[in-house]
Structure 1
Amino acid sequence: MTPLLRRLLIVVPISVLLGFLFATLGFRNGLDETVFGHPYDTGGGYNALGKIKPLRLDTSVRANDGDLRRKEEVVPDGLKVKDLAVALENRTMGFGKLFVVNLPQNGDRRDTMVLASSLSQMNVDWVSGLPDDQPIGETLLRRQDQERGGGQLKQNWRAHINAVRTTVELGLFSAIILEDDLDWDIRLREQMHAIALSTRTLTQPLAVTNSTKPIYADPSFPDPLLSNKVTEIPFVGRPATIQPSKSAYGDEWDVLWLGYCEMQMPTQRTRNLSRGRVVLTPDPFVAVKDTINYDSDSYPNQTRLFHHTYEPMCSFAYAVSQRGARRILYEAVERNATEGFDVMLRDMCDAAPDSPAKLTCITTQPSLFSRWRDGRSEHIRRSVRLNMGRGVGGDQREWFDQYPEESA
Structure 2
Amino acid sequence: MGQVGLAPFLVRYIKLLATAAFVILVWTIVDRAVESPTHSEHASRSLQAEKSQAELAIPHEEASEQESGHKDADAPSLPNAPTQWTDTNSTLGFGTILAVSHATSKRKAGLLWAANITGIDIEIPDQPVWSQGDIDAIRMGKTKWVTKGTAMAWLGHLNALRKFLASPHETALILEDDADWDIALRTSEVPLAASALRHLFHTNSPNHQYKYEQQQNPQQPQQQAHHMHHQHHHPSHPSQSRSNLLTSSTDPHYWGDTSTWEILHLGHSDSEFYDRENGATLARIHSNPSTAYPDPSLPDPDRINPATKTLLYSLAVPLSSRLWHRSHWPLGSYAYGITRAAATRIVDLYSSGSTGSASADAFDVVLLELCRDHGWKCWTLEPGLIGEYYTPSEIALQNLSEEERRRAREEEEIYDTWNLRCAVRQRALWVDEGDEGGRAGMIEKVGRGECPVEY
TM-score range, shorter chain: 0.5 to 0.7
CA distance in 2, matches of 1:385, 1:178: 14
Aligned to 2:383: 366
What is the match of residue 322 of structure 2? 304
Question: 2 CA distance for matches of 1:155 and 1:117?
Answer: 24
Question: Is the 8 Å Cα contact of residues 127 and 159 (structure 1) preserved in structure 2?
Answer: no
Structure scoring higher RCO (CA < 8 A, sep ≥ 6) equals 2
- What percent identity do the matched residue pairs reach? 24
Structure 1 position 349 matched with structure 2 position 349: no
1:270 aligned partner, one-letter code? R
- Name the SS for the 2:256 alignment partner: coil
The counterpart of 1:288, out of the listed 269, 291, 300, is 300
CA distance in 2, matches of 1:306, 1:159: 28
* Distance in 1 separating the partners of 2:146 and 2:204: 46
Q: Render the CA deviation track for 1:239-272: whole Å, top value 9, x for unaligned.
A: xxxxxx842111121111112112677656339x
Q: Secondary structure at the match of 1:367?
A: coil
**Which residue in the other structure is 1:5 paired with?**
none
Q: Distance in 2 between matches of 1:149 and 1:138?
A: 9
Q: Which residue of 2 aligns with 1:377?
A: 417
- Aligned residues, how many? 285
Counterparts of 1:182-221 in structure 2, within 5 Å, are: 182-189=179-186, 190-204=188-202, 209=206
Q: Distance in 1 between matches of 2:104 and 2:356?
A: 29
Paired with 1:105 and 1:312, the residues of 2 have a C-alpha distance of 28
Alignment of 1:3-402 (within 5 A): 48=80, 51=83, 88-89=88-89, 91-106=90-105, 108-129=106-127, 131=129, 134-137=131-134, 140-143=137-140, 145=142, 148-189=145-186, 190-204=188-202, 209=206, 246-251=252-257, 252-262=260-270, 269-270=283-284, 275-281=288-294, 283-289=295-301, 290=304, 292-294=309-311, 296-332=314-350, 333-337=354-358, 338-351=360-373, 355=374, 358-373=375-390, 374-375=413-414, 376-386=416-426, 387-389=429-431, 392-394=440-442, 396=445, 399-400=450-451
Q: TM-score, normalised by structure 1?
A: 0.61
Q: CA deviation at 1:336?
A: 4.0
| Structure (1 or 2) with the greater helix fraction | 2
The alpha-carbon distance between structure 1 residues 103 and 250, as it changes in their structure 2 partners (threshold 3 A), is same
Q: Structure 2: any 5+ residue segments left out of the alignment?
A: 1-65, 67-78, 210-250, 391-412, 432-437
Runs of 5+ unmatched residues, structure 1: 1-33, 35-46, 54-84, 215-244
Q: Distance in 1 between matches of 2:292 and 2:195?
A: 12
| Aligned-residue offset at 1:141 | 1.1
Aligned counterparts of 2:449 and 2:164: Cα–Cα separation in 1: 38
Counterpart-to-counterpart distance in 1, 2:267 and 2:424: 15
Q: Specify whether residues 269 and 381 from structure 1 end up closer, same or farther in structure 2 by C-alpha distance, changes over 3 A only.
A: closer
Say if 2:281 and 2:329, in contact at 8 Å, map to a contact too.
Answer: no
> In the aligned structure 1, how far is the partner of 2:315 from the partner of 2:141?
46
- Structure with higher Rg: it is 2
CA contact (8 A) 1:156 1:341 kept: yes
Residue 297 (structure 1) shift: 2.6
Alpha-carbon distance in 2 for matches of 1:164, 1:178: 11
- Contact 1:203 1:250 survives alignment (8 Å): yes
Instruction: Looking at secondary structure, tell me which structure has more strand per residue.
Output: 1
Partner AA of 1:197 in structure 2: S
Residues 293 and 322 in structure 2, CA contact (< 8 A), matched pair in contact too: yes
* C-alpha distance in structure 1 between counterparts of 2:452 and 2:418, whole Å: 12
Give CA deviations for 1:141-169 in whole Å, capped at 9, x if unaligned: 14264682111000100111111222223
Amino acid corresponding to residue 263 of structure 2 in structure 1: V
CA distance, structure 2, for counterparts of residue 138 and residue 325 of structure 1: 21
Partner of 1:60: none
